[in-house]
Structure 1
Amino acid sequence: MTTKPTVLIAGTGFAGEGHAEAFRGAGAEVIGIVGRTPSVLSQVAEKLVIPYQGTDWQQALSDCKPDIVSIATPGGAHYDPIKQAIAAGCHVFCDKPMTATGATAVELRDLAAAKGVKTAYAASFRYAPSVLHAKALVAAGAIGEPTEVECISHFNLERDIPFGWSHSAAQGGGRLNNNFTHTLSIAASVVGEKILRIAGEVRDDMGRAPIVEGVHNFTERRNFIPKDLDDPSLKWGQSDVEWSYTVMAQLEGPHAKKPVSVLFKHGGLVPRFHEDHIVFYGTKGAIYIKGHYGSGQLSHHDGTGWTDLPLPAEITNTLPDVQGETEQCWHYLAREFVADIRGEEVHPYPTFTEGAQYQQIIDLIRQSDNWTDIDKLS
């Protein structure tokens, strides 16, 4: 491909704007955007200087004939637009979760493979600077053979945030879809992409949430929490997804002879005491990264003590020059994706293969059928 690849965006919220800027940063041309609400769509298209805008996805595909589509809507709204885009021969960049179920994700994976289009799955915090640093250190033997990983986070989200897609399994909500997807991708990228075994349990601590009109941008939902939660006229929606989870996994990788044990522990509604963190342990040391997605300071334990390490130049020189950790990771993945479409050599990146696998894993964890009743023992 010698000309700029063209991109059609689905979604006008935080992710839609972020994807548009990421593809521009990767050298693509954003030619259209599709959204549900005409007034919001018009504002976003004008703000981002996107020439085509529409509310009908199938019509937009026909009108724009893009090389790439970027799916930046909640997960429950991914299936039909992706299926239509694949049928039209478009390459597909999709934010997580891939779809609302493992079965639909597998279907889309197989359709994309049969059509011969490229796909990218944006479980993209594997491109956080300190995660890239950890990956290089592990590959260089800085901790010996990896033995275990722990990913611990507590978000203390407000229980009264307005009811929306994040409360609904059918719409792609839940903390597994929107937190675990990233941490699983991080652990796999550092110690080994082959996932051998999984077990876990989930809990819905939320129950219900107030229904409030006018929430459009996910990042601004806190501004819509009702001032009077005892108002008798207030309507409530019922959550049917997990807000906390505990997952254990075993990963196989090139740097360890035995499977690497991984613990994923997340509490969406509970406060943290110490920092959220990701730690990689090995036979000769450990790597600690501050932050729930590994975007903070990296420290190395060499067997005698901890040392904070600066980012090496070979990593800082590859980082997109943008603000925001989420945006920076979108830019990184979009750059890899566009380069691959152009026929350039790139490192492996997450595709619908990973997206479909992760969605099936989430289905398994949500079954929470790993328990043994002790009262049944003799």
Structure 2
Amino acid sequence: MSKNIRVLVQGTGFAGQGHTAAFRDMGAEVVGIVGRTESVVQQVAKELDIPYAGTDWKQALIDCKPDVVSIGTPGGVHEEPIRQAIEFGCHVFSDKPLTHSGETSKKLYELAIEKNVKTAFASSFRYMPEVQHAKRLVAANTIGEPLEVEYISHFNLERNIPFGWSHRKEDGGGRLNNNFTHKLSIVTSILGEKILSIMGDVRDDLGRAPIVEGVHNFKTRRDFIPEDIDEPSLKWGESNVEWSYTVLAKIESPLTPKPVSVMFKHGGLHPRFNEDHIVIYGSKGAIYVKGHYASGPLYLYNENNEWVEQALPKDIAESIPNVEGDTERNWRNLIKVFLSDIKGEEVAPYQSFKEGAQYQQLIDIIRENDSWVDVSHLQ
């Protein structure tokens, strides 16, 4: 391993550019970037001062000889480049979802084990400061034995966001892939990593979206919403993924002898009335964290039957990376641990392709939506 860990990035949009900055901030050397369109990848490489740019992933692996590859493209195109990188002997950092299906994700996890490469799966909102705070409080028996968790969010997304990968199951789209992965990671980081059982219901409330040219960066896609949505010449793409979900899970926790019940409820297109939140209910109290990804503040329900806001512990506050954006900060937290592990340093456990494959298999089960019992015959 060279003194500086060499990183090759795939993806020129928000994630690819974000991964580049995060790896650099954590001390790695970004030696190349690969994208679909020659003009775009050359422009991004110039703007980010990346020495190598190209559109041929396999050739980039040969030319750049990276220690690590960072995958910042939609999940539907992850499988082949990740497989090639593992075969090449690279460690792999991948954004979620790992792939578009549980079967292909499991194969990549098994290949990584076979080739003895390290992997990181970026369902990384478990590194939010108030998630770490909640984890500490639960572990300290502040609320007694954890009993159940309620996790509610409503995003009220614009229905006419241009048609793209987020609308297609085969491309890694859907709210389970791009919202539930983070939420499940948050809950397991607090309670324990062993998921015992799961069931769910999904719904596509969208149906279709306008097809618009020129959308490149996921974060700026709203800028391309057509001014006249009733324009006769406008073309439409059909959605085939869920925009709302309800998931029930049971999670084993070392903090209690019984499984903890968890309810996840998300409406991607629906407006919120009260704040999005996560609540952990225990035998002696409860913890409420405001925000769809637990951005805070955090409140503790005490022995006086009052919800009292809790200050973020100083050590957690001081550990927050100095950069704008929750996503960007959480990438840095995970990348820091990942790089330390690659260097052979002792690190805390972090999510790898093991969780990436598990999560995708769970999503497949939820999407099957076959947990209903027909009771129409009952009188």
TM-score by length of 2: 0.98
Which string of whole-angstrom CA distances, capped at 9 and with x for unpartnered residues, describes residues 34-71 of structure 1?
00112221221112111100000000001001000000
Q: Tell me, what secondary structure is at the counterpart of 2:202?
A: strand
Residue 245 of structure 1, CA deviation: 0.2
Partner of 1:364: 365
**Aligned equivalents of 2:35, 2:335: Cα separation in 1:** 21
Partner of 2:322: 321
**Aligned equivalents of 1:227, 1:258: Cα separation in 2:** 54
Q: Tell me, what secondary structure is at the counterpart of 2:356?
A: helix
Please tell me the residue identity of whatever aligns with 2:321: P
8 Å CA contact retained: 1:7, 1:69: yes
Is 1:332 the counterpart of 2:333? The answer is yes
Alignment of 1:41-120 (within 5 A): 41-120=41-120
Partner of 1:31: 31
Partner of 1:131: 131
Partner of 2:280: 280
Which string of whole-angstrom CA distances, capped at 9 and with x for unpartnered residues, describes residues 71-96 of structure 1?
00000010000000000000000000
Q: Tell me, what secondary structure is at the counterpart of 1:84?
A: helix
Alignment of 1:169-184 (within 5 A): 169-184=169-184
Q: Tell me, what secondary structure is at the counterpart of 1:200?
A: strand
Please tell me the residue identity of whatever aligns with 2:373: T
8 Å CA contact retained: 1:142, 1:302: no
Report the more deviating stretch, 312-321 or 362-371.
312-321
**Aligned equivalents of 1:296, 1:39: Cα separation in 2:** 41
Partner of 1:20: 20
Partner of 2:342: 341
Is 1:259 the counterpart of 2:259? The answer is yes
Q: Tell me, what secondary structure is at the counterpart of 2:58?
A: helix
**Aligned equivalents of 1:233, 1:272: Cα separation in 2:** 34
**Aligned equivalents of 1:39, 1:256: Cα separation in 2:** 56
TM-score by length of 1: 0.99
Please tell me the residue identity of whatever aligns with 1:83: R
8 Å CA contact retained: 1:2, 1:342: no
Partner of 2:187: 187
Is 1:353 the counterpart of 2:354? The answer is yes
**Aligned equivalents of 1:366, 1:27: Cα separation in 2:** 40
Report the more deviating stretch, 36-45 or 342-351.
36-45
Please tell me the residue identity of whatever aligns with 1:143: I
Partner of 2:244: 244
**Aligned equivalents of 1:256, 1:369: Cα separation in 2:** 30
**Aligned equivalents of 1:376, 1:260: Cα separation in 2:** 33
Runs of 4+ off more than 4 Å: none
**Aligned equivalents of 1:311, 1:182: Cα separation in 2:** 21
Residue 376 of structure 1, CA deviation: 3.5
Which string of whole-angstrom CA distances, capped at 9 and with x for unpartnered residues, describes residues 200-227 of structure 1?
0100000000000000000111110111
- What number of residue pairs does the alignment pair up? 378
Which string of whole-angstrom CA distances, capped at 9 and with x for unpartnered residues, describes residues 5-25 of structure 1?
100000001111111111111
Residue 319 of structure 1, CA deviation: 1.8
Over 3 Å counting, the alpha-carbon distance change for 1:144 and 1:2 in structure 2 is farther
Alignment RMSD (CA, Å): 0.9
Please tell me the residue identity of whatever aligns with 1:224: F
8 Å CA contact retained: 1:25, 1:335: no
**Aligned equivalents of 2:294, 2:376: Cα separation in 1:** 41
**Aligned equivalents of 1:330, 1:153: Cα separation in 2:** 22
Please tell me the residue identity of whatever aligns with 2:342: I
**Aligned equivalents of 1:277, 1:326: Cα separation in 2:** 18
Unaligned 5+ runs, structure 1: none
Residue 2 of structure 1, CA deviation: 6.0
Please tell me the residue identity of whatever aligns with 1:200: G
Please tell me the residue identity of whatever aligns with 1:65: K
Report the more deviating stretch, 207-216 or 305-314.
305-314
Which string of whole-angstrom CA distances, capped at 9 and with x for unpartnered residues, describes residues 112-166 of structure 1?
0000000000000000010011111111111111001111000000001100000
**Aligned equivalents of 1:296, 1:214: Cα separation in 2:** 36
Taking only the aligned residue pairs, the percentage that are identical comes to 65
Residue 315 of structure 1, CA deviation: 1.1
